[in-house]
Amino acid sequence: MNDRELSCSAGGQFMDRGRMNQNGVVQPLLTDLYQITMAYAYWKSDKTDDTAVFDLFFRNNPFHGEFTIFAGLEECLKFLDSFHYSQSDIEYLKQTLPEGIENEFFEYLGNLTARDVTLFAIDEGTVAFPRVPIIKIEGPLIIVQLLETTLLTLVNYASLMATNAARYRMVAGKHVKLLEFGLRRAQGPDGGLSASKYSYTGGFDGTSNVLAGKLFNIPVKGTHAHAYITSFSSIGELKTRLIKHKQTGIMEDLLEHAVRHRQMLSHVLDVSTEESSEGELAAMVSYAIAFPDGFMALVDTYDVKSRETEQASLEPKLINDIKSDNSPPKQKPSTNGHQNGQSNGKINGHKTNGHQNGIIVQSKDTKIQDTKANTATTAAAKTTTTATTTTTSNGTAYLPKYVEKSFRSGLLNFSAVALALNDLGYHALGIRIDSGDLAYLSCLARETFEKVAERFKVPWFNKLTIVASNDINEDTILSLNEQGHKIDCFGIGTHLVTCQRQPALGCVYKLVEINGQPRIKLSQDVEKVTMPGNKNAYRLYSADGHALIDLLQKVSEPPPAVGQKVLCRHPFQESKRAYVIPSHVESLYKVYWKAGKICQQLPTLEQVREKVQISLKTLRNDHKRTLNPTPYKVAVSDNLYNFIHDLWLQNAPIGELS
């Protein structure tokens, strides 16, 4: 039994092999069958001594963007380090491959390692661009072919995820915290773990995924679920109310303090204590007793059936809309690339409990902004939206009174418990909002906290954290920013981890040279023609420190020099050329694996995370903007251009007209 089998039989997917913590599912059989059948055919055709160069690259940036973050390199290196077919792998292949495979082939497989392979790569966490190989791998043809699928699976999702996360970070800005909440929605356990790891790489601040925290040393964070609030229905259910005063150590009744504050707060918040939920109060008190220094509460749970009925009688129009099949379809993002207002669908009124709105929110500069006006809504949606809007005396439309009241219940109970904790020497952390109009409710919450801070002389109340979650994506954040909000932290699950906007990055692995001879793969689609030969990649920078262009050259060419004019050519369009005089030239490849060893000091996850931000800073803003970003230029040297096109002509068959 080898290390891998030992560790797997011990029950762990990730294991410490002394040298590196490795995901146990990453092993040579994690590949497509055709790699192994090809290996046999290569072996049969006596190609064991052939050497090859493969390029691993993508053709298009994801998410309609113009950059990609390269991630997954460390996992690739770990894979090379441990590449070895175990005895049981060989037994399995003997049973599985077609009959007649010679025994010597299995012996050959049993002795294969990645010792003779050399892997070049750009640094993990660097921005990368279409057609510039992010990994270049050289070595015995059979082995480098066998590595294809596993390397692709390690790079594709990792890079997609890191890019997705980096985009969320860009739209959220650097001061807002981003938490990954996606494990429950991820594509299986391994997808969930990778999502947590690479969203951290891309710029998230933490994850709710505890195993990811343990394995990758990522900060783990979280609040609590609605279930906790709804598990209490009355104060009578509180088994304990006592908590130690932080300074005096004397046991005090937290509920008593909370009830007293709640009474006073009801005037400040304009919600009567009868209108707020007792179960919610009980749940919050009990949670505060469990976590007096980390009290963070969900404030949107409150849901009272009798009031739903009352709402129904108040809003027959809305209820009719919901019952008929005229309910508004889910909105598509508006044509300018992101959704405005409530255009991402559900919020435009198909809920019976009145959690919908066509609100006008107060923007940061206190101007009133009509979110309906710039929303690409359907007529049906607009009708329903209007029906549910409550207009205040000054003409400002807000959430339906019912929704506001129920949200105020959460705020009332939270504030009461937070003030009670304050009496006993503790500071609450904040709230989470998981439904409704997040822009409006966050402003309402902040306004409430400011009022409480002033009236109760608790200045720290101003600084309470407001976490928002609920089906958030890049467009929602952009829209919230436009509207103005007071959210300090987003908890993001589904859209982030499933990369819903684009679920795969199309990295490919193409043979570019065999036994020193270039190989080109032709295609009707020019974009798909491969760039033949063993190449080096350089990034040329302008005097202001921005990346100008990536340049591919034949390895035999001298690198571009600072201050010297370089002719950069579009790889396929003859007329597209430019001279560049770089102020700085970065050679993109480093040898990461050679002679059976990792040749570079590998950065920590934290360092890769920093690298992402540093690398993104070198990109001009117009390449990074979400709407119609400018494509970053990728070029080839004049020499490589001619080489590609000569080879192309040599390989393209000449048709015959008849």
Ligand X SMILES: O=C(O)c1cccnc1
Ligand Y SMILES: O=P(O)(O)OC[C@H]1O[C@H](OP(=O)(O)OP(=O)(O)O)[C@H](O)[C@@H]1O
Are 516 and 52 in contact by the 8 Å Cβ rule? The answer is: no
Q: Which among 330-338, 436-444, 493-501, 621-629 is the span making contact with ligand Y, rule CB under 6 A?
A: 493-501
Residue 483 contact, options Mg ion, ligand Y, ligand ATP, none, Cβ 5-8 Å cut-off depending on partner type: ligand ATP
The least CB distance from residue 13 to ligand X, in Å, is 21
Footprint on residues 185-224 left by ligand Y (CB under 6 A) = 185
d(CA 109, CA 40): 9
Q: Shortest Cβ distance from residue 209 to ligand X (Å)?
A: 8
Residue with tokens 């959690």: 355
Burial 539-561 (b: 16+ CB within 10 A, else e): bbbbeeeebbbbbbbbeebeebe
Q: Least separation, in Å, of the C-beta of 37 and ligand Y?
A: 41
Q: CB of 470: closest distance to ligand Y in angstroms?
A: 5
Angle at 371 between CA 370 and CA 375, to 5 degrees: 125
Indicate whether 180 belongs to the interface with ligand Y (CB under 6 A). no
Question: Of 225 and 561, which CB lies nearer to ligand Y in the complex structure?
Answer: 225
**Per-residue contact track with Mg ion, 465 to 504, x per CB under 5 A?**
-----x----------------------------------
Please state whether beta strands 118-121 and 135-140 pair in parallel, antiparallel, or not at all (unpaired).
antiparallel
Show contacts with ligand Y in window 457-486 (CB under 6 A). 469-472
221 versus 495: smaller Cβ distance to ligand ATP: 495
- Residue span 226-255 as binding mask against ligand X, x where in contact by CB under 6 A, dash where not: ------------------------------
Instruction: For the CB of residue 496, give the shortest distance to ligand ATP in the complex, in Å.
Output: 12
492 contact choice in ligand Y, ligand X, ligand ATP, none (CB below 5 to 8 Å, kind-dependent): ligand Y
Number of residue whose CB is nearest ligand Y: 493
17 touches, from ligand X, ligand Y, ligand ATP, none (C-beta below 5 to 8 Å by class)? none
Total residues at the site for ligand X (CB under 6 A)? Answer: 8
Q: Rounded to an integer, what distance in angstroms lies between the CA atom of residue 353 and that of residue 22? A: 48
Whole-number minimum distance, CB 164 to ligand ATP, in Å? Answer: 16
Q: Identify which of residues 126 and 470 has a Cβ nearer to Mg ion in the complex.
A: 470
Closest CA to 135 of 51, 202, 49, 58: 58
Q: Tell me how crowded residue 174 is: count the other CB atoms within 10 A of its CB.
A: 8
Min separation Cβ 181 and Mg ion, Å: 9
Is 125 in contact with 201 (CB distance < 8 Å)?
yes
Quick one: which H or E segment has residue 518?
strand 517-518
Round to whole Å and give the CA distance between 480 and 602. 38
Cβ distance to ligand Y smaller for residue 22 or 470:
470
Minimum CB distance to ligand X, residue 223 (Å): 3
Instruction: Return the range that interacts with ligand Y (CB under 6 A); candidates 178-186, 235-243, 246-254, 270-278.
Output: 178-186
130/491 with CB nearer ligand X: 491
Q: Does 491 bind ligand X (CB under 6 A)?
A: yes
Interatomic CA distance for residues 646 and 658, integer angstroms: 27
The conformational region for residue 227 under phi > 0 = left, psi -120 to 50 = alpha, else beta, is alpha
Question: What's the CA gap between 630 and 61, in Å, rounded?
Answer: 12
**Does residue number 83 form part of the binding site for ligand Y (CB under 6 A)?**
no
| Cβ closest to ligand Y, residue 492 vs residue 598 | 492
E strand residue ranges, 520-607: 535-541, 547-554, 566-569, 577-580, 584-587, 590-594, 597-598
Per-residue binder mask for ligand X (CB under 6 A), 387-426, x = binder:
----------------------------------------
**Minimum Å distance from CB 479 to ligand ATP?**
4
Does 435 participate in binding ligand X (rule CB under 6 A)?
no
Contacts for 26 with CB less than 8 Å, ≥ 6 apart: 75, 78, 79, 150, 154
Q: How far is the CB of 492 from ligand Y (least distance, A)?
A: 5
151, 157, 163, 164 alpha-carbon torsion, rounded to 10°: 180
Say if CB 137 and CB 144 are below 8 A apart. yes
Side-chain half-sphere exposure of 446, counting CA atoms within 13 A: 18
Provide, rounded to whole angstroms, the least separation between the CB of residue 421 and ligand X: 19
Burial of 227 (0-12, 13-18, 19+ CB in 10 A): exposed
- Residues 262 and 383: their CA atoms lie apart, in Å, by 38
- Selected from 126, 150, 201, 208, the binder of ligand X by CB under 6 A is 208
The entry of ligand ATP, ligand X, ligand Y, none that residue 594 binds, CB within 5 to 8 Å by partner kind: none
Among 1, 41, 210, 225, binds ligand Y (CB under 6 A): 225
Of 490, 195, 140, 425, nearest to 295 by C-alpha is 425
Task: For ligand Y, give the closer residue by CB, 374 or 494.
Answer: 494
Contact between 347 and ligand Y by CB under 6 A: the answer reads no
Cβ-contact 357, 315 below 8 angstroms: no
Rule CB under 6 A: say whether 521 interacts with ligand Y: no
3-state secondary structure of 601: coil
What is the binding site for ligand ATP (CB under 6 A)? 341-342, 344, 346-347, 351, 355, 435-439, 470-472, 476, 479-480, 483
* CB atoms inside a 10 Å sphere around CB 33: 12
Between residues 156 and 389, which has the closer beta carbon with respect to ligand ATP? 389
- Assess contact for 514 and 51: CB atoms under 8 A: yes
- Spatial distance between the Cα atoms of 610 and 164, rounded to a whole number of angstroms: 16
Beta carbon of residue 467, minimum distance to ligand X (angstroms, whole number): 7
Look at the block and give the residue holding tokens 């495979």: 101
The CB-of-300 to ligand ATP minimum distance in angstroms stands at 7
Region 456-475 residues binding ligand X, contact defined as CB under 6 A: 469
Contact set with ligand X (CB under 6 A)? 181, 208, 222-223, 432, 469, 491, 493
Contact set with ligand Y (CB under 6 A)? 181, 184-185, 225-227, 434, 469-472, 491-495
